[in-house]
Structure 1
Amino acid sequence: MKVCVIGANGQIGKQLVQLLRESEKHDVRAMVRSDEQAQALRENGIDAVVANLEGTVAEIAEAVNGCDAIVFTAGSGGHTGADKTLLVDLDGAVKSMEAADIAGVNRYVMVSALQAHNRENWNEKIRHYYVAKHYADKVLMDSNLTYTIIRPGGLTNEKGTEKVTIAENLPRATVTREDVAKTVFASLDLKNTFNRSFDLIQGEDEIKVALKQF
């Protein structure tokens, strides 16, 4: 499976690109925002394309053309305003879904946020972020794409444990970025994750076991 990672220069994206690169059953294409980022990836032997989520759907469709799956790990970042969050995390995500349809890419994995589906449990300090994630997820669920929506808890940079808890609704807790990337990787071709969404936090079950039991 050829997988296009949108947001490949982000912290989760970088780890996922490496997992895909080392995989024997998947190939990777990294979508990034700048020529400098793309060149650095190419120098490491990684197929990289430049496209902007604030650009056109056609531009994104060209970037993902020839891939079998898309993973959306992009985000505006914690230092931007609400306007940029809506442009990237919501509209950019929706554009990538439209681009997937145009390019004939059927599989789509979204990295969302814990409890994004539950308004009552949103963090008030970043409510705009949850609004973006909530509605991007809804558009994905209403699309014709074969989706998986992964809603991780608070992200940490600690070493991954490869032990997680997966469920439809989980309390607020943390999970390592490494384990999020590994969960995304494991879910790509796992059919019982197709057209499903779930919260993800650190736990006691091995990732593949947790996914298969969900």
Structure 2
Amino acid sequence: MVKFIVVGGGGKVAQYFTGFAVKEGHEVHSIIRNDGHEKELKKLGAKIHILSLEDATVPDLTSLFTTVSPDVVVFAAGAAGNPPGPEVIDFQGAVKVFDAMEASNTKRLILVGAVDIRTRDKGWPDWYNDEDKAMSDRMWKAIPAYMKAKLDAELELHTRKQIQYTVIRPGGLTLEPAGGVQLGKTHLQKTSGSRELVAKVVLATATSKGTDGLSIDVMDGQGTIEDELKKVVENGTDSWTG
């Protein structure tokens, strides 16, 4: 049994994750900003903690992490274009969680990020083709604040030597049922990923060995999660180019 804390527990990926994790016999503590998702999360079997990531202090989070003593923290929070915005939630909120993990001696983190998060002045990733480059330019022009907040969070995470992290990097999220998957270094023209599938990948990553320190792209594909994750671990396939 793994004990999880899910930050941003009211989101769709987080709710799918909670349902899958509880069914497998794990314990899930869900942090939500208000009681808007409390009923459905309780039905899924989560233990609820109402705490706004915007307003919470690092001591608030540290106290909660110390009390719960989770094996794994899943950071699934995101502003999704809504106030207070990605700078506050996706970056500053993530940094608060990193600080609280270190203060409470909580080691393991699964961070839900996004594809193509990278320091762009270092040039193109070596597996990108012309279509990937065009899609990348479109994404960074369409949602620059979101992409920058995700980048800043990952850059900060890479300085935290006490945290054993894995970054899960989905493309555009859909409400389609989970099917096959492609993990690792993916092409951006295949930019969709089922939320249900992403949740399954997060759970598999959290309960598998060998993914520490990796950033893993997640796209709908033809493979199984088990086979694709094994491939990523054996090859050390890291999509981070920051």
TM-score by length of 2: 0.81
Give a deviation string over 1:79-133, Cα, whole Å, max 9, x none: 44xx621000000011011111112211000100111125363511101100010
| 1:14 paired residue number | 15
Root mean square deviation, CA, Å: 1.8
- Work out the CA distance in 2 between the residues paired with 1:23 and 1:58: 32
The within-5 A match list for 1:49-88 is 49-54=49-54, 55-65=56-66, 66-80=69-83, 84-88=85-89
Report matched runs for 1:165-180 at 5 Å.
165-172=182-189, 173-180=191-198
Say which SS state the counterpart of residue 205 (structure 1) adopts: coil
Does 1:127 find its partner at 2:130? Answer: no
Equivalent pair of 2:186/2:219 in contact (CA under 8 Å): no
Provide the C-alpha distance between the structure 2 equivalents of 1:150 and 1:40, rounded to a whole number of angstroms.
Answer: 25
The more displaced of 163-172 and 66-75 is 163-172
1:138 aligns with 2:141: no
The residue aligned with 2:169 is 151
Length, aligned pairs only: 210
Structure number, greater radius of gyration: 2
- Give distance in 2, aligned partners of 1:171 and 1:40: 33
- Gapped regions of structure 2 (runs ≥ 5): 125-135, 233-242
Residue 62 of structure 1: how far off its partner (Å): 2.2
Q: Does 1:204 align with 2:222?
A: yes
User: How far apart, in 1, do the equivalents of 2:12 and 2:40 lie?
Assistant: 15
How much does 1:43 deviate?
Answer: 6.1
Q: 1:22–1:110: structure 2 CA closer, same or farther, 3 Å change rule?
A: same
Aligned 8 A contact 2:94 2:153 in 1:
yes
CA change 1:181–1:43 in 2 (3 A) is closer
User: SS at the partner of 1:191?
Assistant: coil
Measure, in 1, the Cα distance between the counterparts of 2:63 and 2:35: 16
Q: CA deviation at 1:59?
A: 1.1
116-125 or 89-98: bigger deviation: 116-125
User: What secondary structure does 2:118 align onto?
Assistant: coil
3-state SS of paired residue (2:10): coil
1:210 Cα shift?
0.4
Give the equivalent residue in structure 2 for 1:33: 33
Deviates more, 1:174-183 or 1:59-68: 59-68
Quick one: which amino acid aligns to residue 201 of structure 2?
T
With the length of structure 1 as denominator, give the TM-score of the two structures: 0.91
SS of the equivalent of 2:4 reads: strand
Question: Which residue is equivalent to 1:112?
Answer: 113
Structure 1 alignment gaps of length 5 or more: none
Structure-2 change in CA distance of 1:41 and 1:202 (3 Å): closer
